[in-house]
């Protein structure tokens, strides 16, 4: 569950280097924003590998060897006494009639409910980042989708696997009980809040003529291109895409706005297509397609031939990317420490007959409140940062405003972390309250046992 998604991303990044229709030879490269990789191969491979695993799981016995000894050494449940009188019966929960009672017992267990609500933000974060982190890295640091997926997979495989192992080892090495495991997860979550500030690291948004920077007001008169960005998205969208992309230098080219094929001019400004850059000829070289005679490229002002190369402009963001990915690795490692402790704490705060049902209810709550809605919400936030779409308000986004995306991501993660911290604190408080009567009862039993031993010694 921890390593599989990461390994899948690494394998998927390799499949992305092939065009989606493997029977065709495309002139595009994986660096092109119009490139669609062979995403379907991963589903075909995963489905095939699931078949033998399914048959292996069917051969498992109903109860694993040694389960009785493990049950005997588990902690006593933290429910109120009136709640577990029927739940402590070994036959309880064997029929559908017991399901409402079991659900009621779990709902009356505040420690269990708070643990479920504390795990939900963590699952929401993983779900949202798994869906959009590749796109985030690709946009913020100007990387190809294949390279972004490869880097993401390389980071996730060792950190998630190693972090889960270390978290499990800490629980076993220090013999953490429910209170200790909750405190451990609370500490990791608190420290993660500061590491999440790494999402403020970003590169400047690509300068794109007509989208983030305007065309020259009159290039033929010798004016220099104004590289000042638009003040706001409202100003940016005050006119249609056609009007913003059309300038004096390309007004006679009859360009098609439905064909997005970006080129990077010699002025380090990206253009929607060679046509919108005013290019008149093309030369194919070993390094790619080179366009010449581009009337919109600023270099023409100085009497030189305007040149543009196919693809987006590559910025010098290697240092920012290295810092971001380094901190991201630490954050993922710290997050993976809390993969196993909440599950173990959940199993220890319910009765034996409720454990399977409790895990089912927990994952229903985690997915319903966290894993399912999180990608939808985060995707809507990313849509708010989109600067360029082919069909205005719908369709794929080709250019994002990096700074706004960065701020939205930090805010989204901070809200999830705050909820996680809050419910871990509440789980700790409720567990301590429910544990006090049991500790007093154990103390009384110990004193009674000591008194009996003293009397037997005197006799």
Q: Is 301 exposed, middle or buried (0-12, 13-18, 19+ CB in 10 A)?
A: middle
What is the distance between the alpha carbons of residues 337 and 161, in angstroms, rounded to a whole number?
10
Report the sign of the C-alpha dihedral through residues 116, 122, 125, 131, in that order.
negative
Q: Is 74 in a helix, a strand, or coil?
A: coil
The confidence score (pLDDT) of residue 459 equals 53
Report phi then psi at 389, rounded to 5: -130, 155
Tokens of 92: 């309880």
DSSP for 338-359 reads TSSHHHHHHHHTS-GGGHHHHH
DSSP strand pairing (281-285 vs 288-292): antiparallel
Tokens of 228: 């000042």
The confidence score (pLDDT) of residue 82 equals 45
The confidence score (pLDDT) of residue 92 equals 58
The confidence score (pLDDT) of residue 230 equals 47
Q: Is the pTM of this model over 0.75?
A: yes
Give 6-9's long-range contacts (Cβ < 8 A, gap of 24+): 6/153, 6/155, 6/156, 6/157, 6/160, 6/161, 7/153, 7/157, 8/42, 8/46, 8/153, 9/134, 9/149, 9/152, 9/153, 9/156
The confidence score (pLDDT) of residue 227 equals 42
Report phi then psi at 270, rounded to 5: -90, 145
What is the distance between the alpha carbons of residues 5 and 456, in angstroms, rounded to a whole number?
62
DSSP label at residue 302? G
Q: Which positions of the chain have pLDDT values less than 70?
A: 1-6, 9, 26-27, 29, 31-34, 66-94, 216-239, 287, 299-305, 390-394, 436-459
What is the distance between the alpha carbons of residues 383 and 307, in angstroms, rounded to a whole number?
33
Give 223-231's long-range contacts (Cβ < 8 A, gap of 24+): 223/301, 224/298, 224/301, 225/267, 225/269, 225/298, 225/301, 227/269, 229/205
The confidence score (pLDDT) of residue 275 equals 92
Give 406-410's long-range contacts (Cβ < 8 A, gap of 24+): 406/140, 406/199, 406/200, 406/201, 406/202, 407/200, 408/381, 408/382, 408/384, 409/136, 409/199, 409/378, 409/381, 410/196, 410/197, 410/199, 410/200
DSSP for 406-430 reads HHHHHHHHHHHHHHHHHHHHHHHHH
What is the distance between the alpha carbons of residues 210 and 245, in angstroms, rounded to a whole number?
5
The confidence score (pLDDT) of residue 15 equals 81
Domains of the chain: 98-199+317-453 (1.20.1250.20), 219-310 (no CATH)
What is the distance between the alpha carbons of residues 429 and 111, in angstroms, rounded to a whole number?
8
């Amino acid at each position: 569950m921890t390593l599989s998604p990461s390994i899948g991303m690494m394998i998927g990044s390799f499949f992305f280097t092939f065009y989606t229709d493997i029977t065709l030879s495309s002139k595009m490269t994986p660096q092109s924003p119009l490139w669609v990789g062979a995403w379907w191969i991963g589903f075909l491979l995963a489905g095939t590998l699931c078949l033998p695993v399914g048959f292996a799981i069917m051969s498992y016995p109903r109860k694993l060897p040694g389960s009785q000894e493990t049950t005997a050494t588990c902690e006593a449940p933290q429910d109120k006494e009136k709640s577990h009188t029927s739940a402590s019966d070994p036959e309880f929960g064997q029929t559908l009639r017991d399901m409402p009672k079991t659900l009621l017992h779990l709902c009356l267990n505040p420690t269990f409910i708070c643990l479920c609500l504390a795990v939900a933000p963590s699952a929401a974060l993983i779900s949202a980042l798994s869906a959009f982190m590749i796109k985030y890295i690709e946009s913020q640091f100007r990387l190809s989708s294949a390279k972004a997926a490869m880097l993401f997979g390389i980071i996730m495989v060792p950190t998630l696997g190693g972090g889960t192992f270390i978290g499990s080892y800490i629980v076993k090495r220090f013999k953490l009980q429910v209170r200790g495991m909750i405190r451990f997860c609370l500490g990791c979550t608190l420290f993660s809040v500061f590491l999440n500030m790494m999402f403020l690291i970003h590169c400047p948004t690509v300068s794109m003529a007509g989208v983030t920077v305007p065309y020259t007001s009159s290039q033929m008169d010798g004016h220099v291109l104004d590289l000042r960005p638009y003040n706001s998205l409202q100003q940016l969208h005050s006119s249609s895409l056609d009007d913003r992309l059309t300038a004096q230098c390309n007004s006679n080219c009859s360009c098609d706005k439905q064909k997005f094929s970006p080129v990077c001019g010699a002025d380090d400004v990206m253009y929607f297509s060679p046509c919108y850059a005013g290019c008149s000829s093309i030369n194919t070289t070993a390094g790619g397609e080179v366009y010449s005679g581009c009337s919109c490229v600023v270099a023409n002002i100085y009497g030189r031939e305007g040149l543009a190369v196919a693809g987006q402009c590559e910025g010098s963001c290697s240092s920012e990317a290295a810092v971001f990915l380094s901190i991201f690795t630490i954050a993922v490692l710290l997050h993976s420490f809390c993969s196993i402790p909440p599950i173990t704490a959940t199993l220890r705060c319910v009765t034996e007959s409720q454990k399977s049902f409790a895990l089912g209810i927990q994952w229903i709550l985690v997915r319903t409140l966290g894993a399912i809605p999180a990608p939808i919400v985060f995707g809507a936030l990313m849509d708010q940062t989109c600067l360029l779409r082919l069909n205005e308000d719908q369709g794929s986004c080709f250019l994002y405003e990096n700074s706004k995306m960065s701020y939205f991501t930090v805010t989204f993660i901070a809200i999830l972390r705050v909820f996680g911290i809050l419910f871990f604190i509440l789980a700790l408080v409720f567990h301590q309250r429910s544990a006090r009567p049991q500790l007093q009862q154990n103390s009384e039993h110990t004193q009674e046992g000591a008194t009996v031993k003293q009397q037997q010694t005197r006799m």
